[in-house]
């Protein structure tokens, strides 16, 4: 009925450049510790929105952390069994994807909730 609403809205709401690190695989070192490997970053665009503390609490998140929602036309992955989530870098901060609202197959967009995990130090 409405088609891809995200594509329509993104014409009017400014899109922000973000680096997307897709999870590749997990390797175990000689000490038995797992380490996540990620693909080289891809530059993508989307829209970042703050999540208020009360909303984060109602979603079951820790109120002492900073959460943001990112809307994009890219197929970003959250936490899955036997994998780690993708992560994003925006304005010098690293964000781990904690959950996703997946409209990608149907309408070509996603909304992901991300937690700020620190400064990007690459």
Rounded Cα–Cα distance for residues 54 and 96 (Å): 20
**Would you place residue 9 in the very low, low, confident or very high pLDDT band (cuts 50, 70, 90)?**
low
* pLDDT band at residue 104 using 50, 70 and 90 as cut-offs: low
Burial of 113 (C-beta count, 10 Å sphere; 0-12/13-18/19+)? buried
Percent of the chain beyond pLDDT 70?
85
- The Cα–Cα gap between 22 and 12 comes to 28
Strands (E), the chain: 16-21, 23-28, 34-38, 42-50, 67-72, 87-90, 93-103, 109-119
In this structure, what DSSP letter does residue 83 have? S
pLDDT at 11 over 70: no
Q: Which of 7-11, 25-29, 33-37, 116-120 is predicted least confidently?
A: 7-11
Domains in the chain (CATH in brackets) are 5-119 (2.40.10.270)
Which pLDDT score, from 0 to 100, does residue 37 have? 94
- What pLDDT, in 10s, does the model give residues 27-67? 999 999 999 999 999 999 999 998 888 888 888 788 888 99
Identify the pLDDT of residue 2. 52
Tokens of 101: 């609202």
Greater confidence (102 vs 119) lies with 119
Strands 67-72 and 42-50: antiparallel
User: Given pLDDT bands bounded at 50, 70 and 90, which one contains residue 5?
Assistant: low
Residue 87 has pLDDT above 80, yes or no: yes
CA 65 – CA 77 distance, rounded (Å): 21
């Amino acid at each position: 009925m409405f088609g891809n609403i995200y594509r329509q809205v993104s014409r009017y709401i400014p899109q922000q450049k973000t680096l997307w690190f897709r999870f590749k695989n997990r390797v175990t070192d000689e000490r038995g510790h797992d380490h996540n490997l990620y693909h080289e970053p891809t530059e993508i665009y989307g829209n970042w929105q703050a999540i208020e503390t009360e909303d984060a609490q109602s979603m079951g998140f820790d109120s002492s952390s900073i959460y943001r929602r990112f809307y994009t036309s890219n197929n970003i992955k959250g936490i899955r069994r036997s994998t780690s989530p993708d992560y994003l870098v925006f304005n010098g901060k690293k964000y781990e994807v904690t959950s996703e609202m997946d409209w990608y197959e149907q309408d070509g967009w996603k909304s992901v909730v991300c937690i700020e995990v620190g400064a990007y130090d690459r």
